[in-house]
Chain A
Amino acid sequence: MGELVTVPGFVLVPDITLEVHPLMRRLDVRGDQILASRIPSGAQLVGGTAHVLESVTGWPMQLIEARVEAPGNTLVETRLIAIYRFLTFTGIVLVRASDAQRFASVRDQIIELLRTARPLFRDTQPAEISELWNVEANS
C-alpha cells in the first residue's frame, strides 16, 4: 500500500481513511479484489454499486461502493473504491469508513476529492538527462 490519509473527525478512533495505492503500470488491476481485501473473518462484502465518471481533468474513473457486514447484517464498514485509468497505468484509492452516518455526511465531499486525483508518473528513471546530477532522492 502507498499512503494512508485519515479524514479529520473522531479524535480517539479514526473512522474514515483513504488508502492511496502506488500507481501501477498495468491495466489488468482487479479493483473489486482490492475492495474485498482484508475483510474480518466471518464478514462478507455486500453490494458493489458501480458508477463511471471522470476526474476534474478528464481521466476516466470508476467508483464502486459496498458494505462489509458481519453475521446478522451488522455493518462493519462502508467501502468506496476509486479506480483510475491513467493511460497505461492504474490508480487506486480505497475509502474505508466505520461510521455509516458520518460517511454519509461527507460522502459527496469525498467523491469530489477523489475526482481531483492526478497521476504522478515520475519514477526513478531520469526523465531528462540533466536529472542525473539531481541530489534530491525524489525529484
Chain B
Amino acid sequence: MIQLPPAWTVVPESGVVRLVHPAGAATAVVHYRERMRPLVRLGLLVPEFLASVPAFEVRSPWAPEVLTTTEGEHAALVTFQGIENGRASQRDLGFVFGDDFFASLSAQCTMPEQFADMTSLVRQLVLSDSHALGVRRRRFAYHAPNGWEPIVEGFVTDWYPPGFPNDSMILTMRPANPRVLEPLETLASMVEALGLARYRVAVAAPLSVLRTVAGLQGSLVTVRVGRGGRSVLKQAAVLQDVAYTYAVEVTAGSVEQLAAHPGLVLAVAESIIPVPGAASPTHDPELFSHWSE
C-alpha cells in the first residue's frame, strides 16, 4: 500500500486507489493498483498501459529506472513525456514486483513546471510502497548461458542447451532460501536427501571452496547419482550471504558432457546478484495516512 502525499486527496474507486493533487485533478492524478497478475516484463506492461491511454502521444525516449523499495522488493519507474489532448503531458509509471504479482502506480501531470516534482513523488511512492511480504524464498538475478532455453515452473527455472537432448545438460536455478529457514549444512542435506530417496551417491570430485566477487561464499561439489542401471552427474554450487542461501545446479548425462561445458556452474554462480535487503526500519508517521481524507 502506498502512502498518501501531504495535502493530496484519496478518491475511492473500485479496484483502484485514486489520489488527486491538492490543486485538483487538472494538475495531477495518481492511480494505484495492487496484486495485478500475471507478472510479466516491462516490455509487455508498458505497451499495455500506453494502449489504455490512446490520447497520450509519447514524444520522448524512455528507459526504465531500476529501483529497490525500502522493503527490499524489486521495482521500476518509467517516465514518458508527450502530448495529450493538445497539451504537454507527462505520464509516470511505477511498478513494484512481487513473487507472482505486481503493483502499479500511474501518474498523469499536465503542468510542465511540475513534471520533475511529479517524477520525484512517484519515485518516492514506489520506494515506500509497503507489501509486507516478509521473509520468504526469493528469485534472484543471474546470467544464464547464451542460447539456452528456459522452462519455468513456479520459482524454479530449468535451462536447456541448444543441443539438448544429445547435449544432455540441464541447468536448474531454484529460488534463494532464507538462511533462517535453511539447514546449516545445505550441501550435506542435499546429498543426504538423495540417499534417503534410495539413490546411490558418490563424490565425483573433491569439494572446493567458492567466493564470488559479489561476496557470496560457499562450496562446489560434483557427485554421481544413480538408481537402477542409470546414473547422472550433478554439479552444484551452494553459496550464502548473511540472509540467503543460493544454489546453482547442473545435471549432466556423462563426464564428457559435463566437460563439454567447462566452468558453467562457476560462471553462473559468479553472475549471481544477491537478493536486495530491506532498508533499516524507521518510524513511519504516514503509516495510517491512507485512511485519511
Interface positions of B from 1 to 54, Cβ below 8 Å from A = 38-44, 46-47
Query: Residues of A within 8 Å of B, CB-based: how many?
Result: 27
The reply to whether A57 and B165 form a contact with Cβ atoms under 8 Å apart is: yes
B139 at the interface (CB under 8 A from A): yes
A32 at the interface (CB under 8 A from B): no
Q: What's the nearest-Cβ distance from chain A to residue B193, in Å?
A: 24
B208 at the interface (CB under 8 A from A): no
A128 at the interface (CB under 8 A from B): yes
Q: Write the A53-75 contact mask toward B (1 if CB under 8 angstroms, else 0).
A: 00001110000000000000000
Pick from A119, A126, A130, A135 the residue with the most CB of B within 10 Å: A135
Interface residue from B64, B151, B167 paired with A87 (Cβ < 8 Å)? B151
User: In the complex, what residue of chain A is closest to B142 when comparing beta carbons?
Assistant: A128
Contact flag A131-B144 (CB < 8 Å), given A120-B149, A121-B151, A137-B47? no
User: In the complex, what residue of chain A is closest to B151 when comparing beta carbons?
Assistant: A121
Interface residue from A57, A87, A137 paired with B44 (Cβ < 8 Å)? A137
The reply to whether A128 and B165 form a contact with Cβ atoms under 8 Å apart is: no
Interface residue from B142, B150, B159, B162 paired with A57 (Cβ < 8 Å)? B162
The reply to whether B139 and A129 form a contact with Cβ atoms under 8 Å apart is: yes
The reply to whether B164 and A126 form a contact with Cβ atoms under 8 Å apart is: no
Which B residues contact A (CB, under 8 angstroms)? 38-44, 46-47, 63-64, 66, 74, 76, 97, 139-142, 144, 149-152, 157, 159-160, 162-167, 173, 273
16 residue pairs bridging A and B, Cβ less than 8 Å apart: A57-B162, A88-B151, A121-B149, A124-B44, A126-B152, A127-B157, A127-B159, A128-B142, A128-B150, A129-B97, A129-B140, A132-B76, A133-B66, A133-B76, A137-B43, A138-B43
